[in-house]
């Protein structure tokens, strides 16, 4: 009999909490509360002449109409051909100044080039080297090979035209890394 009362009390308590939560969530009276009793206007300011305010609001309307009618062209986004980046600019000519490639790195990059594997926007081979070193690190940590392939495939995917090509190229990246870097 006592267990029955405990269950009824627990159910009633849960129902009270649920009703309280729903009541609190549906109360939106503060979102629509009025700011004050005076009307809010944006055309006049206290202490200014209303005739000046109406003239300035008409001028701003005319300016807005003129701006919307004018043809606006986007800015020129092509780089200036006469501008050259500084020598220490990251992403400069491969490899960037101050960074020496190891023989393993060179062999890996050469293998990728022979197999016609490249990464989108990887002018300095940074992405290719990152993927190769990732494969080696994942191999030493005994990571799931499917996870490694998925990661490499995601990096190579934008340069491919089909899923089959992306799978093939990701296999080539993994094989080249295992052969040359690891």
- Judged by average pLDDT, the poorest of 9-13, 94-98, 145-149, 172-176 is 94-98
The SS3 of residue 150 is: helix
* C-alpha atoms less than 13 angstroms from C-alpha of 52 in its C-beta half-sphere: 5
What would the mean pLDDT of 72-91 be, rounded to a whole number?
A: 65
pLDDT above 90 covers a percentage of the chain that reads 16
Cα 12 to chain centroid distance, Å, stands at 47
Number of C-beta neighbours around residue 13 at 10 A: 10
CA distances from 47 to 34, 59, 71 (A): 24, 20, 39
- On whether the CB atoms of residues 122 and 128 are closer than 8 A, the answer is yes
- On whether the CB atoms of residues 177 and 132 are closer than 8 A, the answer is yes
Tell me: the pLDDT tens digits for 16-54?
A: 666 666 666 555 555 555 566 666 656 555 555 555 545
70-84 as b/e, with b when 16 or more CB fall inside 10 Å?
A: eeeeeeeeeeeeeee
Tell me which residue of 145, 144, 166 sits closest to 155, measured CA to CA: 166
- Burial class for 177, CB neighbours closer than 10 Å (0-12, 13-18, 19+): buried
pTM of the model: 0.47
Tell me: the pLDDT tens digits for 97-133?
A: 456 888 898 898 899 889 988 888 887 888 888 899 9
């Amino acid at each position: 009999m006592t267990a029955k009362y405990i269950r009824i009390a627990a159910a009633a308590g849960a129902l009270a909490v649920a009703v309280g939560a729903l009541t609190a969530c549906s109360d939106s009276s503060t979102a629509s509360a009025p700011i004050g009793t005076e009307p809010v206007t944006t055309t006049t300011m206290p202490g200014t002449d209303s005739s000046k305010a109406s003239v300035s609001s008409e001028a701003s309307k005319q300016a807005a109409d003129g701006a919307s009618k004018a043809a606006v062209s986007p800015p020129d986004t092509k780089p200036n051909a006469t501008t050259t980046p500084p020598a220490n600019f990251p992403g400069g000519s491969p490899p960037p100044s101050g960074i020496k490639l190891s023989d393993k790195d060179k062999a890996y990059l050469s293998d990728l080039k022979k197999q016609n594997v490249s990464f989108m926007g990887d002018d300095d081979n940074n992405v290719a080297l990152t993927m190769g070193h990732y494969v080696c690190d994942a191999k030493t940590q005994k990571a799931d090979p499917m996870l490694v392939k998925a990661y490499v495939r995601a990096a190579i995917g934008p340069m491919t035209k089909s899923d089959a090509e992306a799978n093939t190229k990701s296999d080539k990246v993994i094989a080249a890394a295992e052969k040359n870097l690891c």
